[in-house]
Amino acid sequence: MSTLVTISSLTRVFDVSRPWLNRVIERLPVKHLKAVSDVSLTISEKSVYALVGESGSGKSTIGKIVVGLLPPTKGSVTIKGVDLARETDESLVKEIRSDIQMIFQDPFASLNPRWRVKKIIEEPVKSAGGNTQGVSERLLELVGLSKDDANKYPHEFSGGQRQRICVARALSSEPKLIVCDEPTSALDVSVQAQVLNLMSDLKDKLGLTYLFISHDLTVVRHMADTIGVLYLGRLVEEASTEVLFSNPQHPYTQMLFDAAPRLDSFGREIDPPKGEIPDPINPPTGCAYHPRCPNAIDRCKSELPLLEEKSDRRVACHLV
């Protein structure tokens, strides 16, 4: 399969300092938060690449950079060989952007409550100058709703139905890539399964590519072809779903898998995860995971491990 998305040395830094006048009066320093640090990965066409990690690991920031909601501080994101943040040909940028859509985490907040469903779904088509005739009705039936729902408002639907409307809106511009930012985390478990099965079916039917962002390992195992594990803005391990779940190598990946509930391990006793994610404004030296790692050695405290190619994965750990 050919490569659709290439992320190279991606870094995003946020200025989280107090306002200038406060800093002058209180003599406070400038503070920067590095949300994403030197991340490189590729996403193949018609595949699902999942980013997993604890809250604050940088998953959503990468998703927003890919769709163009945030510019990168350093590095690049190229889609079909085009770096949208630096490309000067506006017509080419508009063409590529029409191939990218996003499904947000909260279906209650991502739909305009003042618009009817028909207008919500047709908005991406109108902004691209396309023909909206019958688009909303066709897509509503595609995602398992009735074409009569086009004239209703979002508050008339349940959470699962609203997320289906979000999926329909994402499909309206006929995208090639959809960034899914925890699309089922706000839904009940039974509704999650319905939405995930719908997204999986649409991927096969329409040839879609997903960048799937989640902290739910059960969902990721069901959806993903390749998994990237993020910790404090860095990619610490990447492998196919089968390889990663059968034999995780990085201590952080092992901790995530041990902490996740499993039906085949009822009554098991494991040590709870140690510590919390460090302050990203003042991260630890060396490997950021070393304060929580049970296997850490002196080298881990002083030297940053690089993401290296192994036989079946990429992993950043001195002990692997």
How confident is the model over 276-292, as pLDDT tens digits?
778 888 989 999 999 99
Average pLDDT over residues 121-129: 87
Give the C-alpha separation, 172 to 195, whole Å.
17
The backbone region for 269, taken as left when phi is positive above 0, alpha when psi lies in -120 to 50, beta otherwise, is beta
Position of tokens 């952080």?
252
Considering only CA atoms, give the Rg of the chain.
21
Tokens standing for 250? Answer: 């990085």
Helices (H) and strands (E) in the chain, counts: 11, 12
Query: Which residue would you say has higher pLDDT here, 159 or 304?
Result: 304
Mean per-residue pLDDT for 207-220?
A: 91
- Tell me the pLDDT band of 265, cut-offs 50, 70 and 90: low
Is the model's pLDDT at 159 over the cut of 90? no
Q: HSE of 235 in the Cβ direction (CA atoms, 13 Å)? A: 24
Question: Is it the case that residue 270 has pLDDT exceeding 70?
Answer: no
Residues 6 or more apart whose CB falls under 8 angstroms from that of 53 comprise 59, 215, 229, 230, 231, 256
Element (H, E) at 257: helix 251-259
Q: Is 168 left (phi over 0), alpha (psi -120 to 50) or beta?
A: alpha
User: Any residues with CB less than 8 A from the CB of 43 and at least 6 apart, and which?
Assistant: 3, 4, 5, 6, 49, 177, 209, 211, 226
For residue 271, is pLDDT > 80? no
Average pLDDT over the chain, rounded to whole? 90
Q: Answer yes or no: are the C-beta atoms of 204 and 215 closer than 8 Å.
A: no
Q: Which amino acid is at 301?
A: K
CB 185 within 8 Å of CB 216: yes
The percentage of residues in the chain with a pLDDT greater than 70, rounded to a whole number, is 96
Residue from 296, 181, 230 nearest 53 by CA: 230
Query: Looking at residues 304-309, what average pLDDT do you find?
Result: 93
Helix (H) or strand (E) holding 136: helix 135-142
Average pLDDT of 130-142?
89
pLDDT confidence bin for 313, thresholds 50/70/90: very high
- One of 3.40.50.300, 3.40.50.150, 3.90.550.10, 3.30.470.20 is the CATH number of 3-99+175-315, namely 3.40.50.300
- Helix or strand holding residue 244 (H, E): helix 241-246
Q: What is the pLDDT of residue 258?
A: 84
Residue extents of the structural domains in the chain = 3-99+175-315
pLDDT tens figures, 160-170? 899 999 999 99
Residue 263: pLDDT band (50, 70, 90) is: low
pLDDT confidence of residue 262? 67
Q: How far apart are CA 2 and CA 245, in angstroms?
A: 25
pLDDT in tens, 63-115: 999 999 999 999 999 998 899 888 888 889 888 888 999 998 888 888 999 99
Residue 28, pLDDT > 80, answer yes
pLDDT at 267: 62
| pLDDT number for residue 175 | 92
